[in-house]
Structure 1
């Protein structure tokens, strides 16, 4: 098999159905299969997906996996990665839609650039604007500081202050970055064999940044490839109902990533400042969410 596409479902039947169909409705010049991994949905969405794509399941095009409990996005993807037998693996969010020949272009780039370990495409929001999270720098102290203090928003075209989402770079160019987003990550299986699976300590945020960090450290390039596109219906999934949990996991991921990759490189005062910053902003976001509700 050339490509295995992994889509994680959690109570998002319509969105997941649309994502799968956006792949199936295109003609692809390579062999592929799709793994739909359900994270213990209780709304019947998994059964509905099995019924909808029964024919594709019977001929082996789609493989269904049902997790008995929800242990997070990273764990669900790892389950399918372990079963996949292909040269390339694509992580594709269940709230996305593949546009045109996105997969063909992406596969062609990977095959012609053997030093690329991960490729992320241009990710557009439904209104046509770029999902800024699709190309990023690693969240080292200075990058995160500029982001948290709002300097990155005040000076988006500054190479110094705009590093968080690389807003000073042209979104229509292709170039090497630190990391791309988990909504669309195309990897070589040989890369995964070398660096290992997604870190399951991350529940639903940060696992993509951590993976890119390890892959880049192993000598592979991380590429933002603007000539391939998907639409990301960000915030449209059922997980939006879990705002408090999402906020907690977002800042928990920051804590895990810092401890794993940066703690030993900074003095204690910087570490304490980082912890305080993460905790303070998390509490502010939780309070804001409570007031809004």
Structure 2
């Protein structure tokens, strides 16, 4: 009979002389997700597995009392309350500087840890040192597969399918939904192009060698860029189905238009930085087409329904109106 979930062994600097160094430092960046973050930490400690782990929470200037609540309920966890919202990338970079372990695990605050996921992911990483970056399997609250734990890189083919809605029409197709690897249920160990930052493990030495996240990526795209740079060094990011978490997705971004704009800006930056020069104009045109198709679709839908205030129309009106801004991608940002 398989062993059930085991609690995480929590490391703290105050007990370092007795405990020795932690095996993994778990970094959680929170922003106005108080209840979710508390639940994430609770399930992490209850079901992370038999691993000596340091937990560092970096709160991005939440106004819902997140930092205070975490400190009160989990006093042995290192909680940092930032005075400003630094974004996901910079907050993780700063949190990593506080880490004492040789392995880092980035974990989103809108997650719940299942069945020794941290211990299983750590064991997987140790068995596969050539991977460099590691992820697991994510599910929705009802237990159904959330395929967003990993993906393939953006390509001309995948961006064309995305622009023409083919990835939505054929979500389980490996051809039309190539970026999301639609024909794979995340039920086997596999090399992937990108491990998503909601549940991402990386040796601290490699993280430091890469310089952590590129700070130009404020909210989205930073893990894709990190994986691209790791692959350039010869590593092959990998995932395992033996490490499972629940991920709600997008709990820190509530305004749909804002999220779409940030995603578009991130994709434009990845295309500009990681595609061959000859293909960059094609990629940017396909991003333009992606927004154009949706702009005209929702305009037509609003006209047919007699609903000029249709939310979809208002959202894509804004995305289309600001296309010349987000297609430029992110600018350079200094640490």
TM-score by length of 2: 0.78
Write the mapping of 1:238-253 to structure 2, written as runs, cut at 5 A.
Answer: 238-240=252-254, 242-253=255-266
Q: 2-side partners of 1:96 and 1:233: how far apart?
A: 6
Structure 1 residues 291 and 199: alpha-carbon distance in aligned structure 2, compared to 1, 3 A threshold: closer
Write the mapping of 1:1-293 to structure 2, written as runs, cut at 5 A.
Answer: 1-26=22-47, 28-54=49-75, 56=76, 62-235=77-250, 237-240=251-254, 242-262=255-275, 264-266=277-279, 268=281, 270-277=282-289, 279-280=291-292, 288=312, 290=314
- Corresponding residue for residue 327 of structure 2: none
Structure number with greater Rg is 2
1:33-90 CA deviation, whole Å, 9 max, x = no partner? Answer: 0010010112222112111112x2xxxxx11112221121111111111221211100
Unpaired segments ≥5 residues, structure 1: 57-61
Q: State the Cα RMSD in Å.
A: 2.3
1:221 counterpart SS class? coil
How far is the alpha carbon of 1:158 from its aligned partner?
4.0
Q: Is the 8 A contact 2:104 2:201 kept in 1?
A: yes
How far is the alpha carbon of 1:282 from its aligned partner?
7.7
Structure 1 residues 267 and 6: alpha-carbon distance in aligned structure 2, compared to 1, 3 A threshold: closer
Structure 1 residues 23 and 275: alpha-carbon distance in aligned structure 2, compared to 1, 3 A threshold: closer
Q: Is the 8 A contact 2:106 2:199 kept in 1?
A: yes
2:132 counterpart SS class? strand
Structure 1 residues 245 and 224: alpha-carbon distance in aligned structure 2, compared to 1, 3 A threshold: same
Q: Is the 8 A contact 2:47 2:114 kept in 1?
A: no
| Count of aligned pairs between the two proteins | 283
1:79-108 CA deviation, whole Å, 9 max, x = no partner? Answer: 111221211100000000010111111111
Q: 1-side partners of 2:74 and 2:165: how far apart?
A: 46
Unpaired segments ≥5 residues, structure 2: 1-21, 299-309, 317-335
Structure 1 residues 192 and 265: alpha-carbon distance in aligned structure 2, compared to 1, 3 A threshold: farther
How far is the alpha carbon of 1:194 from its aligned partner?
2.3
TM-score by length of 1: 0.88
How far is the alpha carbon of 1:27 from its aligned partner?
6.5
Q: 1-side partners of 2:265 and 2:294: how far apart?
A: 9
